[in-house]
Structure 1
Amino acid sequence: MSSPTQILADFASRLSFEDIPDAIVRKANDAIVDSVAATVFGSTLPWSRIVIDYAVKYGGGGTGRILGTPARVATPFAALANGTLAHGFEMDNLRQPSAGVHAGSTLLPPMFAVGDEVDAGGRDLLVAFVAGCEVMCRIGVAARNTAEKLGFHSPGLTGTFGAAVTAGRLLRLDPRQMANALGIAGSLCSGLLAFSKAGNGGTVKRLHTGRASEGGVLAACLASAGFDGPDVVLEGKLGFFEAFTREPKLDELTAGLGSNWETSRICMKAYPCHVTANTPIQALRDLQAAHGFAAQDIAEIHIATSEKVLSHHDIRHPNDIATAQYSLPFCMATAAWRDPSEPSSFLDNPHEDAGIIDLAQRVVLTLNEESKAPGAAWATKLRVRLRDGREFAIERRDFRGAPSNPMSAEELDAKFLHLVDGVIADPRRLLEQLNDLRALPRISQLAI
């Protein structure tokens, strides 16, 4: 009998464009557009420049473009750079409900890197993205996010497998080679959450998806040349689930494969901060719009939220931007004092702003028992007490951009144009090409 790893490899290598429902193709296309915007914006950031310079210095002269720059570098370095840029400011898309997967920052980079190398057409790019997403998300769901309880950053683990599949599709790996690519990818997983307790060093989080993207390309390229890896790397003794997770649900690896499309669950972020803050921020903005209070009016913010927020995101004294974006109290205080939909609100050192620091200490976090229900990890109960004694409360389970509350096509286009403004020479032409990716003959024709 085939192992779950082999079943996933077989599915990924045999998937055709015609197998994918139109709605799923559209969802993948939207996620790609969203991811390009996040990556291009990421190219403008100072910490991204360090990675870009590294890729150019050691990998210059290749075919892979680093989005938002004129640079061309070797394929693995392009994946590394773009993966880091895409996650460079907490704007990359992920899954609803959360499963420790980031489609945009781990699938788009190998898609572009290998796509540039083989000059792939739009349909091949879409199939590669969907194949990677379907495999990666199932691994994330089966892992039940327990890797993060052990100190690992899940996208640095699951993303390596997704990247290997996406790269492998564009390299036309057969089922055996694809299984080997997954087997190799399992030994390339990495990423620690030490910064969340240290209160500093959060910039390294941005590297985790870059390394996952690079590792996936390495795994696929080696597999294409005959290098092998264990074909039970996920479920086998001393394999991925035993090493990185606790009590996985292995039946989720293949449940509904080819009919229950994980790609449909991709979620676009509304605000450039950790996803666990997006629903509370949406709730706060709803209350402010309804009752007209401002940050200086707030005495306390009470949030009933998930266990993961209490264990990982209750950071009161972050010392860098990335850690502030990972902290729910700081994200809420930033959203109260500034416009949270503007990247500049989080880019302009919120962890050094006296008003934000003060309000963040007055954010009270408690457990929301409802968040323990399947698919309810983002369930939030928010109560705001004002200095004049008034109190307002609201409950939310999602935010604008989630599959349960999707952005319109116009909103997605506006987000893209806002993020790439001033970086791309002809953003509207690029948006038009990306929005109809299936019609693109070759990736080299993109106006980027």
Structure 2
Amino acid sequence: MPDPTATQALGRFVAGSDWRDIPAALRHEAKRSILNHVGCALGTARDPAVQAALRVMRGLGGAPAATVFGQGARLDPMGAAFVNAVASNLLDYDDTHLDTVIHPAAPVAPPLFALAEQRGLPGAAVLHAFLLGGEVACRIGNAVSPGHYARGWHITSTCGAFGAAAGCAGLLGLSAEQVAHAIGIASSEAAGTVENLPNAAKNVSVGNAARHGILAAMFAAEGYDAAPAAIEGPLGWARAAGDAADVAAITEGLGTRWEIGRNTYKPYPAGIVFHAVIDACLELRARLDAPPEAIAAVTVAGDALLLARGDRAVRNARDSRVSIHHSAALGLLRGRAGVADFEQPAVDDPALAGFRAKVTAALDAALPRGAARVTVRLANGREEETTVLTPRGSEARPLTDAELEAKYHENAALGGCADRAAAQIAAIWGLEEAADLGHLTALLA
């Protein structure tokens, strides 16, 4: 019998996985991911982009069967998955797998919630399917990084579609062959471009990744098939979207070495590669013993990804969340970097705008991804410098459960759900024992 293709190997992995065999620490990490995901979605419940997505999907969908977080509304499963994915990813406050810069939960968790609510499935099945879907997304991301992203593909949306399809197929209990077909069908759906990241089109690609996962799994359940090597074949998705896939990155250690276990959670609502910039600037601000106006120039050094993502003009809130200059200005001038500090009033603040002009970005290829070195020169010629290799929230310095709960409370307050936050948090921590999602989704409505 020939060796399975990468697509087939993933199908066997998903269909053959048993929740009882998942290590306890990884089970807990699944709950942490869901806690962070739901909180981030609630934090944007009042945002015009989320409200617009809700209006569009309400006008297109079928029978309401799934909860839209924080909206007092229900949509058909694909519509709810779309809106919740948009909401979770909107502020760049969601989880991140640093090696690929995939945000796993936004595309993967919403379709699982929607299907489980529609079908009355248990919480443990949702957690299990999330780990499986997130693993598939991150492994395929590893196989095509860094060339895929460098060519302009938005990897959260593209690989997220694979993860959503695999997670949904696992949740529905499809066979190994059907899971592989679902993943292969997703290869015809996966799309999204980096050029659109500062624009609303990014929201569409992330939302589509979530709903396309449901679509792929449902088609596979109904007998649709896909090419056996839909990912790595000579005319498959990986070749079409970049280079030949590193098949070993997909298949080696499946079920024993978990990429989704390396998921991280952000203390700041900005791109993950800017967290080291913020941390370094906060450290320098405390060390300088000088007013911000005494700073004449700031140099931020980092790897090619940091510069490609963040050496940009800041025109709107989306730009600010992926800006080296704005991140440095917040750390050194304001001494904080909360949600409000990346909104339009902060972008338009003359003091911040003037400070951003003092910041220069520089390439240092020796620095690892996610690291930054910041040098501050004062008007009197004095210089101070610091390097941050492991920012807060990174794999080496993860946020604690208590910090994740505090972040959730802050987001819930932004979305108008502060009075229910404690109960919501308790329900998420208790998902593994929940017979269905009814209690949690009632709280989230």
Per the shorter chain, which TM-score range? over 0.9
The aligned counterpart of 1:32 is: 34
Structure 2, gaps ≥5 residues long? none
The 3 A distance-change label for structure 1 pair 399 and 426 is same
Q: Secondary structure at the match of 1:434?
A: helix
Q: 1:355 aligns with which of 334, 351, 356?
A: 351
Identify which range, 48-57 or 20-29, moves more after superposition: 48-57
- 1:351 CA displacement: 2.8
Q: Secondary structure at the match of 1:302?
A: strand
Measured against aligned partners, the alpha-carbon deviations of 1:137-173 in whole angstroms (never above 9, x if no partner) come to 1111111131221111111110000011111122111
TM-score, scaled to structure 2? 0.94
Q: 1:437 aligns with which of 427, 431, 436?
A: 431
Is 1:411 the counterpart of 2:407? The answer is: no
The aligned counterpart of 2:171 is: 170
The 3 A distance-change label for structure 1 pair 341 and 360 is closer
Is 1:331 the counterpart of 2:327? The answer is: yes
Equivalent residues in 2 for 1:285-434, closer than 5 Å = 285-316=282-313, 318-338=314-334, 340-371=336-367, 376-421=368-413, 422-423=416-417, 425-434=419-428
- 1:133 CA displacement: 1.2
The aligned counterpart of 1:141 is: 142
- 1:424 CA displacement: 5.3
CA distance in 1, matches of 2:345, 2:200: 13
Q: How many residues align?
A: 438
Equivalent residues in 2 for 1:152-301, closer than 5 Å = 152-195=153-196, 202-246=199-243, 248-301=245-298
Name the % identity: 26
The aligned counterpart of 1:50 is: 52
Q: Answer yes or no: is the 8 Å Cα contact 2:181–2:226 preserved in 1.
A: yes
Q: Answer yes or no: is the 8 Å Cα contact 1:95–1:267 preserved in 2.
A: yes
Q: Secondary structure at the match of 2:187?
A: helix
The aligned counterpart of 1:66 is: 68
Counterpart of 1:230 in structure 2: which amino acid? A
CA distance in 2, matches of 1:412, 1:256: 29
- 1:53 CA displacement: 1.3
Q: Answer yes or no: is the 8 Å Cα contact 2:185–2:216 preserved in 1.
A: yes
CA distance in 2, matches of 1:211, 1:440: 28
CA distance in 1, matches of 2:376, 2:62: 53
CA distance in 2, matches of 1:426, 1:149: 42
Counterpart of 1:100 in structure 2: which amino acid? V
Q: Answer yes or no: is the 8 Å Cα contact 1:276–1:328 preserved in 2.
A: no
Q: 2:92 aligns with which of 81, 90, 93?
A: 90
Measured against aligned partners, the alpha-carbon deviations of 1:385-444 in whole angstroms (never above 9, x if no partner) come to 123332211111122112210112211111111111232542111111111221112111
The aligned counterpart of 1:10 is: 12
- 1:64 CA displacement: 1.2
TM-score, scaled to structure 1? 0.94
CA distance in 2, matches of 1:339, 1:107: 34
Identify which range, 330-339 or 319-328, moves more after superposition: 330-339
Q: Secondary structure at the match of 2:269?
A: coil
The 3 A distance-change label for structure 1 pair 340 and 146 is farther
Q: Secondary structure at the match of 2:193?
A: coil
Q: Answer yes or no: is the 8 Å Cα contact 2:285–2:335 preserved in 1.
A: no
Q: Secondary structure at the match of 2:397?
A: coil
CA distance in 2, matches of 1:340, 1:213: 33
Q: Secondary structure at the match of 2:113?
A: helix
Structure 1, gaps ≥5 residues long? none
CA distance in 1, matches of 2:153, 2:118: 32
The 3 A distance-change label for structure 1 pair 353 and 203 is farther
Q: Secondary structure at the match of 2:192?
A: coil
CA distance in 1, matches of 2:43, 2:14: 31
Q: Answer yes or no: is the 8 Å Cα contact 1:100–1:145 preserved in 2.
A: no
Counterpart of 1:388 in structure 2: which amino acid? N
The aligned counterpart of 1:76 is: 78
CA distance in 2, matches of 1:354, 1:170: 51
- 1:294 CA displacement: 4.5
CA-based RMSD of the aligned residues comes to: 1.7
Measured against aligned partners, the alpha-carbon deviations of 1:230-283 in whole angstroms (never above 9, x if no partner) come to 221111111121011225422111121111111221010111011111111111
- 1:293 CA displacement: 4.1
